[in-house]
Amino acid sequence: MKFSYSLIKEFVPQLPPKKKLVEELNLKAFEAEVLAGDALDISLPANRYADAASHWGIAKEAAAIFDLKVSLPAGFGRAVNLPSGNKLFSVKVEDPALCLRYDALLLSLEKKTASPSWLKKYLEACGLRPINLIVDIMNYAMLETGQPLHAFDYDKIAGDGRNKKIIIRRAKAGERMEGLDGKTYNLSAGDLVIADAEGILAIAGIKGGKRAEVDSSTKKIFIESANFSAPEVYATSKQLNLVTDASARFARDLSPELAEYGAARAAYLVKELSGGRVLDSFEYYPKAAKGEIIGFSVEKAASVLGVSVKKNESMAILKKLGMAILPSKNERFDFLVQTPVLRRDLQTTEDLIEEVGRIYGYNNIPSRPPHIYLKPAETDDILVAKRRARDFLRNLGFSEIYSYSFFDKPSSDWIWSSSPKEKTLLEIQNPIASDKKYLRGELTSYMLAALQDNSRHFDELPIFEVGKVFSAAGERFHLAIGFGSKDKPASAALKGVVNQLLLSFGITEIFFRPSGSGSTFIEIDHNVIGRVSVVDGKDQRAIAELDLEEIKNASSEEFEYRALPKYPSISRDLSLEFDNAVPVGDILEEINRAKVEHLWDVDVADYYDQRRFTLRLVFQAWDKTLRDEEAEREAASIINQLKRKFSFVIR
């Protein structure tokens, strides 16, 4: 919010220079910045609009920080001696929950003048555009007091005398209003509006209407200084997608007490600058707002802040901030504090401790190591698994990417699961882009893009990602591994990586089960935990995606020593040439079925194509030296087993 340094200085004549003010505001109150010319930018938190969204408010804060006095200009304060009951208008608040206070003033305008240059200068420093004297006064009085004000042209309000009726009500469905900005606003049933007999005059606390606009021919003005329910203004402003100076303030819960200051200041300025006269006034204020009485404990403050601020010093700080100190009968408290009625943010002891702490200065609080109970620190298992998988893949030469959590629904089958819940994607209600309507259900699509995007720059692409995927069944960490190569089969390389990765987690029972063209499931303990897919048809790019939670659950740290073999092993290479293409997986499965006693390991030693490859069989006995004939016999029984299913010759 923009402020004028010289206007703040009018309230605190001894105000230090701009740079010093901004420095101390930063350290003790609000984030502030020096802008060009006379202007300052001060970021007010949502809970301080009530008292500080005004030059008066900042002046009070500065006075407390620098230990200075605030001096109010003439005509600033509570309204006094206003004529009332002249029956020149009437006001009706239909729902007391919507409007906490409604002060109204009727003034005649005697002479027409333009806004004086000092007034324009202040408005411009605060980023407001001068319009005409009356509108400028309303805005200026808001800048000074923090109270939004609105002036209507009295003669344009429907009716005469007491029949000129202002109604604070909810809009009906289909009602509309032309705003001062010339735009038409379509209201929804329930929006809070100011109306007369003919319809809507203003959207309460947000925007004035064109119909009762003040212009150069206006003779009498009706000034509204009200307090509308903060949640109502906020809801209407959101519904209309319309944020104004006034709505931003009302939505942040102003005190109804402020209305009186706004009305009095506006009336004074109109009288001074336009020679006007108050003809009538009205006040609706059923329940007066009061400050809070809160207990303060010096010991509690010391415990929270970690530094002992003396009782007298705490009292002095709170007094500087406009609080009254009262004695406490309750032993828990050293004294009671009555908060200023405008400080709506002060509700609890902790709020007061914050006030003492910030004015005392957070930088004056020492750093002190905490005393702790020595309880072993723990790391969630899934985070440990993430780190292990990442380190493993990195050491294997893979590089890590991070992708967005959003994606476009993929056209094909995106997840291996058959559970309907796991196949249901979560949809964003307010997506930021049309290709980001869903939470990603897998990591494969982004990995596919990464292989494509990087292919120009690298001959070999080892990539991985660890991240959450989402479905109606919940969210889980997945691991995607992509591999692209110009000269070796990508799927075989990836299967090797997956195998080693799982082994590194202590998982040994790993099966790859074909799941359709170009893809194979990864199973541990008959449970599908992932999939390896060839993604280009040529086996130059393949992607594996695995469920990291399943890996974590299956992981085991139980290693056990096994004596080294005492006797030599025997290797036999079988070079096979099949009549038709066969999956190596089927051959290996068939070899397992042969159940030969001493077969210790089988590997593909050489792979020429789908018809021709060489298997290396390793035979090992643990209790004796295997004889050649025994190995030959077992190899022959393996060949016999294969012959039953496949047609091949041994080369």
Partner 1 sequence: MNPETLKQEAYTDIEACNNLQELEAVRVKYVGRKSELTLALRGLKDLPLEERRNAAPKLQQARKEIEGMLASKEKELASSKAEAKVDLTRPGTRHAFGHLHPLTLMEKEVVDIFTSMNFSVIDGPEVETEHYNFDVLNIPANHPAREMWDTFWLKGGNDSRSRKLLRTHTSPMQVRYMETHTPPLQIIVPGRVFRYEATDASHEINFYQVEGLMVGRDVSLANFKYVIEEFLKKMFGPKTEFRFRPSYFPFTEPSVEVDVRLVGGKGEQSESLRAIAESRKSEWLEVMGAGMVNPKVFEAAGYNPEEWQGFAFGVGLERLAMLKYKIPDIRLFYSDDLRIINQF
Residues between 36 and 75 that touch partner 1 (CB under 8 A):
45-48
Nearest distance from residue 67's CB to partner 1, in Å? 18
Nearer to partner 1, 238 or 593 (CB): 238
Nearer to partner 1, 200 or 251 (CB): 251
Per CB under 8 A, which of residues 181..240 are in contact with partner 1?
Answer: 230-231, 234-235
For the stretch 127-162, what's the b/e string if a residue is b when 16 or more beta carbons lie within 10 angstroms of its beta carbon?
Answer: ebebebbbbbbbbbbbbbbbbbbbbbbbebbbeeee
Coil, strand, or helix at residue 533? Answer: strand
Which of 2, 210, 271, 468 forms a contact with partner 1 (CB under 8 A)?
468
Show the CA angle centred on residue 477, arms to residues 471 and 478, nearest 5°: 90
Alpha carbons within 13 angstroms on the beta-carbon side of residue 6 total 9
Assess contact for 109 and 273: CB atoms under 8 A.
no
Nearest distance from residue 78's CB to partner 1, in Å? 28
278 binds partner 1 (CB under 8 A): no
Show the CA angle centred on residue 490, arms to residues 489 and 494, nearest 5°: 125
174 binds partner 1 (CB under 8 A): no
* CA dist 132 → 136, 178, 267 (Å): 6, 20, 16
Coil, strand, or helix at residue 281? Answer: strand
Which of 29, 59, 201, 599 forms a contact with partner 1 (CB under 8 A)?
29
Tell me which residue of 521, 406, 417, 531 sits closest to 468, measured CA to CA.
406
Assess contact for 282 and 84: CB atoms under 8 A.
yes
Nearest distance from residue 115's CB to partner 1, in Å? 31
Which of 100, 171, 200, 248 forms a contact with partner 1 (CB under 8 A)?
248
Instruction: Indicate the angle between helix axes 349-360 and 298-305, nearest 10 degrees.
Output: 60
446 binds partner 1 (CB under 8 A): yes
Nearest distance from residue 324's CB to partner 1, in Å? 22
Nearest distance from residue 96's CB to partner 1, in Å? 18
Nearest distance from residue 453's CB to partner 1, in Å? 6
382 binds partner 1 (CB under 8 A): yes
The span from the CA of 647 to the CA of 651, in Å, is 13
Nearest distance from residue 400's CB to partner 1, in Å? 4
Nearer to partner 1, 112 or 436 (CB): 436
Nearer to partner 1, 174 or 369 (CB): 369
Which of 95, 181, 475, 509 forms a contact with partner 1 (CB under 8 A)?
475
Nearest distance from residue 429's CB to partner 1, in Å? 4
Coil, strand, or helix at residue 494? Answer: helix
Nearest distance from residue 579's CB to partner 1, in Å? 39
Nearest distance from residue 174's CB to partner 1, in Å? 24
Binding residues with partner 1: total (CB under 8 A): 89
The span from the CA of 92 to the CA of 196, in Å, is 10
Per CB under 8 A, which of residues 599..628 are in contact with partner 1?
Answer: none
Taking CB under 8 A as the binding criterion, the range among 263-271, 392-400, 568-576, 641-649 that sits at the site for partner 1 is 392-400
In 72-198, DSSP assigns E strands to 90-93, 99-108, 150-153, 165-170, 176-178, 184-186, 192-196
Nearer to partner 1, 39 or 304 (CB): 304
387 binds partner 1 (CB under 8 A): yes
Nearer to partner 1, 450 or 498 (CB): 450
The pattern of x and - marking residues 448 through 467 that bind partner 1 according to CB under 8 A reads: -xx--xx--xx-xxxxx--x
Strand order in the sheet with 39-43: 2-4, 39-43, 31-34
The pattern of x and - marking residues 395 through 434 that bind partner 1 according to CB under 8 A reads: xxxxxxxxxxxx-------------------xxxxxxx--
Nearest distance from residue 430's CB to partner 1, in Å? 6
Tell me which residue of 93, 106, 100, 103 sits closest to 167, measured CA to CA.
93
Per CB under 8 A, which of residues 322..381 are in contact with partner 1?
Answer: 348, 350-351, 353-354, 357-358, 362-363, 365-375, 377-380
The span from the CA of 606 to the CA of 583, in Å, is 14
Which of 71, 163, 303, 424 forms a contact with partner 1 (CB under 8 A)?
303
The span from the CA of 306 to the CA of 297, in Å, is 14
